[in-house]
Structure 1
Amino acid sequence: MDQNVVLAVDIGGTKIAAGLVGADGQVSGHAETPTPATEGALGQALRALLTSVTDGVPISAVGLASAGPLDMVRGTVSPVNIPAWRDFPLVEEVRGIVPGVPVSLVGDGVAAAVGEHWRGAGRGAVSMLGIVVSTGIGGGLVLDGAPYPGPSGNAGHIGHVVVEPGGHPCSCGGAGCVEAYASGPSMVRWAREHGWTGTDARALAADAGQGHAVALAAFDQGTQALARGIVAASTMCDLDRVVIGGGVSAAGQTLFAPLRSHLGRLATLGFVRRTTVEPSLLGRQSGLLGAARTALLASRGPASGNPSEGGEQLVAPLS
């Protein structure tokens, strides 16, 4: 492990993961805990997890990846899929747990994209979109070889691109969003409404793999919404590559085969058709590595872009 070790934390609606990461991208001390439902329990779980991972190991910085929306200036988070956290002072909370080191905050979708671009399926791409298909649909952009979180830190939120105006209600308060169709819970909900009696997205994927008609239909309608979002993003950003991770991506060809079929039908412009779609190579560690990379870049000093208070925000080239 490299001596310049950072503590990386990835917070999502299902789990909180943490690990120690060196400048070489090696991860040690990886640990996870389920995401609790209440604010007090969330704080306790976060403190217990970070304390157990560091366990006296000296660290140079902390990189936080969190579901959003985020407020980069205030260091607060309001994850759509973690109702207990609204304007939660995450950076301040972590500074209290791990005092004396700089803390960098980045959206979990951006972190996943940065991790894949650094050490995974996005290596070599000039412009890419990373997508996390899980409890929600997260996204993050790398443009011209550099992460692009946008002025507020929330760019790339493909899960809340509207693909069906007036469609299913979404947890963000809108309707017809990609997430309302393509997230794991959304596909499970649709399948149950159509007679499927399984338990969760993993069971839905297993049944789809066995040819269950309703399970297959759920993946078909979910990936159609995801394809519409990808085509919109590629049209806007001229993407080379899209890298898809998250728990639902573990379904493999059950997800990717209908997705690529819909993309082949929906992408009509030549520069959009050249966009390739690949599964994550880093799996559950993409967000951790992206959070670590954010902290490592920030530790080099003030970077280009929109610095947050204390100069601890990303943006810098990934080369």
Structure 2
Amino acid sequence: MLALDIGGTKIAGGLVGTDGTLLRHATRPTGTDPFAALTAVVADLAPGPVAGVGIACAGPLDTVAGTVAPINIPSWRDFPLVARVRELTGAPVALAGDGLCMALGEHWAGAGQGSSAMLGMVVSTGVGGGLVLDGRPLRGRSGNAGHVGHVVVEPDGEPCTCGGRGCVETVASGTHLVRWARSRGFTGPDAGALAAAARAGDPVAAEAFRRGGQAVGLAITAAAAMCDLDLVVIGGGVAQVGDLLFEPVRATLATHARLSYLRDLRVEPAKLGGAAGLYGAAALAYSLI
């Protein structure tokens, strides 16, 4: 199956076998003409017919209409992605949000195998997520269910790109971690430098990650209480800092996730890295046949 993972920086594609093996892989910069980049990826991977196509795309999106309007791809507003890819490949197409595809990928071939109710989270430039319940993706009315990055954790907090305030993304994303630390004297260039400073004992950097981990933990607590989760898998660039993020997440859960049915809730790092979205998109494609 052909899997595509569309983001604001790059478009990745892969051919994935029925056993979850990533057979081939290609990427192109998203650039100013995202569909041209997507077309090039498809040509690199599948110059001939394919049985089906699964697409992971940044949101928001409308899976009923087959359209996308990613915040980080301004040239696509209500873009008819499903129809255009169907025309390009001649194959049936399945579309889902990138957070849901990350969760599906980890459930199929990564850290989520065997879970009956899991949340996948991506903590990176933004914060996204998706739910896999009873082995099936929870899509919601429009395909945007599980977007945990916009759970409000600070009602009077910073403005968010979604138009609200105080979403977990405004505290825990890499961009906002660095912004908060810079407002308190940190001078490093990015989240990687912030992590290095935190490990070297910089109190501002350490507090940035504590706040971020607490925000993620509060969002997980809300999602777990509502959906009776047994597992949360966290991936994305910020999650690569390890215990700087995971320790405050788990400490927050110990304080707030006190319901009896949450006692066995586990939080684990993702295993598939940046390929999780491709695996999830492939799982979508296989659901078409």
Q: TM-score, normalised by structure 1?
A: 0.86
CA distance in 2 between counterparts of 1:288 and 1:145 reads: 18
Report the counterpart of residue 14 of structure 1 in structure 2. Answer: 9
Structure 2 gap segments, 5+ residues each: none
Residue 44 (1) aligns with residue 39 (2): no
Report the counterpart of residue 196 of structure 2 in structure 1. Answer: 206
What is the correspondence of 1:245-256 to structure 2 with a 5 Å cutoff? 245-256=235-246
Per-residue displacement from partner, 1:52-79 (whole Å, max 9, x unpaired)? 222x354211100011111112211112
**8 Å contact 2:217–2:252 — kept in the other structure?**
yes
2:172 aligns with one of 172, 182, 188:
182
Secondary structure in structure 1 of the residue aligned to 2:163: coil
Secondary structure in structure 2 of the residue aligned to 1:298: coil
What is the correspondence of 1:19-168 to structure 2 with a 5 Å cutoff? 19-36=14-31, 38=32, 41-54=33-46, 56-98=47-89, 100-168=90-158
CA distance in 1 between counterparts of 2:122 and 2:273 reads: 10
Per-residue displacement from partner, 1:254-287 (whole Å, max 9, x unpaired)? 2212221222122222222321000001111111
Letter in 2 for 1:94: V
Shift of 1:113: 0.8
Size of the aligned set, in residue pairs, is: 289
**8 Å contact 1:81–1:136 — kept in the other structure?**
no
Secondary structure in structure 2 of the residue aligned to 1:234: helix
Shift of 1:211: 2.5
**8 Å contact 2:28–2:40 — kept in the other structure?**
no
Shift of 1:293: 0.4
Distance of aligned partners of 1:192 and 1:96 in 2 relative to their CA distance in 1, 3 Å threshold: farther
Report the counterpart of residue 161 of structure 2 in structure 1. Answer: 171
**8 Å contact 2:3–2:14 — kept in the other structure?**
yes
Shift of 1:172: 0.6
**8 Å contact 1:81–1:135 — kept in the other structure?**
no
**8 Å contact 1:69–1:154 — kept in the other structure?**
yes
Identity of aligned residues (%): 58
Secondary structure in structure 2 of the residue aligned to 1:159: helix
CA distance in 2 between counterparts of 1:257 and 1:218 reads: 13
CA distance in 2 between counterparts of 1:191 and 1:14 reads: 24
Structure 1 gap segments, 5+ residues each: 1-5, 300-319
Report the counterpart of residue 304 of structure 1 in structure 2. Answer: none
Report the counterpart of residue 276 of structure 2 in structure 1. Answer: 286
Give the superposed CA RMSD: 1.5
Letter in 2 for 1:42: P
CA distance in 2 between counterparts of 1:82 and 1:219 reads: 28
